[in-house]
């Protein structure tokens, strides 16, 4: 078994940052009317700028595969060239197509001129961590000496007004069914575009910051809780999901079957409690002392959860003082599977890390409540 190190991190955020009052310029107005929910959601999520792979007319400027490739290209230097890649492992919630796989499309964008091993992790926020874990285990087992791992999203294309206009016209949704409207609109004002990438190697780099991966743990609570965040389906009264394939094609647009939706009542009830429960399990499993953690990077979808997450961790005996927490949500937005990559890239390149420090990564996934965490040691 080999030790595994994150020896370099890179990110790519498309175009210029978009301020709150500019969002509808890019995403458009549903039925030419300003959103009634936008200001409330933005006030709670505390996001002030984000990035879109769109121009101001709502036209795409990058595909998800292109965003991911640009992040990965930032890993290449004189010590690790593009031609040195042997394993590419990527995760996303928002691939550009159902098939081929996202990794196949990223491989094509990179134009490295040779065959490599590829892996695609799908799902929601944990898909980035799943992709990282595949690379981690491959290098640890000695199957590969290095791996390139990335998490990315291009959610803006899912959120443009044309994806919602038809439904609102048919159901008079905004006036007659405000709760349904809120569920459909909620994520329009939460999600952002971008990509982050890590280079994993079996040796640290000399005279540079490297992060040794001590472990990556995963937990799912799907056996206890119904789906909370979903797309390509719709939730039924009994909590089950009905697939897009089981709807007449005329309903796909009328009922926004492919829109990404979130049940906020279930989200509030479980997301923090189960996050603390899963992290406590890892601390017990690895016999960790919370006081020995120097930096806490916890992906949150909204600033609304910031205080509550700290409180829930404290209830489980993991009371990390605020000075140990690192967030960049307000500046870059919620980039889903890419968020933890982009946050760690910023911290890793900040000059703040010191040899021997411990960095804790925590990622929730509200799809059906899955969680991951990882411990890193600064080398």
Q: What is the pLDDT of residues 122-132, one digit of tens each?
A: 999 999 999 99
For the segment 140-156, the average pLDDT, to the nearest whole number, is: 98
What's the confidence (pLDDT) of residue 256? 80
CATH number of the structural domain 213-233+259-378: 3.40.47.10
pTM: 0.95
Domain residue extents for the chain: 4-208, 213-233+259-378
What's the confidence (pLDDT) of residue 184? 64
What's the confidence (pLDDT) of residue 92? 98
What is the sign, positive or negative, of the torsion defined by CA atoms of 222, 286, 279, 68?
Answer: negative
3-state secondary structure of 99: coil
Alpha-carbon span 110 to 271, nearest angstrom: 36
Please count the other Cβ atoms lying within 10 Å of the Cβ belonging to residue 2: 14
Binned at pLDDT 50, 70 and 90, residue 152 comes out as very high
Contacts of 315 (CB under 8 A, 6+ apart): 276
Please determine whether the domains at 4-208 and 213-233+259-378 fall in the same fold group of CATH.
Answer: yes
Binned at pLDDT 50, 70 and 90, residue 356 comes out as very high
Best CA proximity match to 240, nearest among 260, 226, 221: 226
Q: Is the peptide bond before 100 cis (omega within 30 degrees of 0)?
A: yes
Q: Are 117 and 149 in contact (CB under 8 A)?
A: no
Alpha-carbon span 184 to 158, nearest angstrom: 11
pLDDT > 90: what percent of the chain? 83
Binned at pLDDT 50, 70 and 90, residue 261 comes out as confident
Query: Does 242 score more than 90 pLDDT?
Result: yes
Query: Does 180 score more than 60 pLDDT?
Result: no
Alpha-carbon span 177 to 170, nearest angstrom: 12
pLDDT, tens digit, for every residue of 61-95? 999 999 999 999 999 999 999 999 999 999 999 99
Binned at pLDDT 50, 70 and 90, residue 185 comes out as confident
Between 16 and 39, where is the model more confident?
Answer: 16
pLDDT > 70: what percent of the chain? 95
CATH architecture of 4-208: 3-Layer(aba) Sandwich (3.40)
What's the confidence (pLDDT) of residue 214? 98
pLDDT, tens digit, for every residue of 284-312? 999 999 999 999 999 998 888 999 999 99
For the segment 343-350, the average pLDDT, to the nearest whole number, is: 97
What's the confidence (pLDDT) of residue 171? 46
Query: Does 327 score more than 60 pLDDT?
Result: yes
What does DSSP assign to residue 157? G
Q: Is the peptide bond before 161 cis (omega within 30 degrees of 0)?
A: no
3-state secondary structure of 379: coil
Query: Does 183 score more than 80 pLDDT?
Result: no
Query: Does 175 score more than 60 pLDDT?
Result: no
3-state secondary structure of 199: strand
What's the confidence (pLDDT) of residue 174? 45
């Amino acid at each position: 078994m080999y030790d595994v190190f994150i020896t370099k991190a890179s990110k790519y955020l498309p175009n210029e940052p978009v301020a709150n009052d500019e969002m509808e310029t890019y995403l458009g107005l549903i039925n030419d009317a300003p959103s009634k929910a936008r200001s409330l959601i933005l006030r709670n999520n505390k996001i002030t700028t984000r990035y879109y792979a769109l121009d101001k007319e709502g036209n795409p400027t990058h595909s998800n595969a292109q965003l991911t490739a640009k992040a990965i290209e930032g890993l290449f230097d004189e010590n690790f060239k593009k031609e040195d890649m042997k394993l590419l492992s990527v995760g996303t919630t928002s691939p550009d197509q159902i098939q081929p796989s996202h990794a196949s499309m990223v491989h094509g964008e990179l134009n490295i001129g040779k065959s490599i091993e590829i892996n695609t992790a799908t799902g929601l926020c944990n898909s980035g961590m799943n992709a990282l874990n595949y690379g981690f285990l491959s290098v640890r087992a000695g199957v590969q000496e290095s791996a390139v791992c990335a998490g990315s999203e291009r959610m803006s294309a899912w959120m443009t007004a044309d994806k919602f206009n038809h439904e609102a016209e048919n159901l008079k949704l905004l006036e007659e069914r405000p709760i349904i409207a809120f569920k459909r609109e909620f994520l329009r004002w939460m999600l952002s575009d971008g990509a982050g990438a890590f280079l994993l190697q079996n040796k640290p780099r000399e005279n540079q910051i490297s992060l040794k991966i001590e472990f990556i743990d995963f937990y799912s609570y799907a056996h206890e809780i119904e789906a909370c965040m979903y797309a390509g389906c719709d939730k039924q009264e009994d909590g089950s999901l009905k697939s897009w394939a089981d709807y007449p094609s005329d309903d796909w647009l009328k009922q926004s079957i492919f829109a990404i939706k979130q049940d906020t009542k279930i989200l509030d009830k479980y997301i923090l409690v189960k996050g603390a429960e899963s992290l406590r399990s890892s601390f017990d499993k690895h016999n960790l002392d919370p006081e020995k953690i120097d930096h806490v990077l916890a992906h949150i979808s909204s600033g609304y959860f910031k205080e509550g997450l700290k409180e829930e961790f404290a209830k489980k005996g993991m009371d990390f003082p605020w000075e140990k927490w690192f967030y960049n949500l307000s500046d870059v937005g919620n980039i889903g599977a890419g968020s933890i990559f982009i946050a760690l890239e910023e911290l890793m390149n900040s000059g703040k890390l010191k040899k021997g420090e411990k960095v804790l990564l925590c990622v929730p996934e509200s799809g059906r409540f899955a969680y991951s965490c990882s411990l890193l040691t600064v080398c």
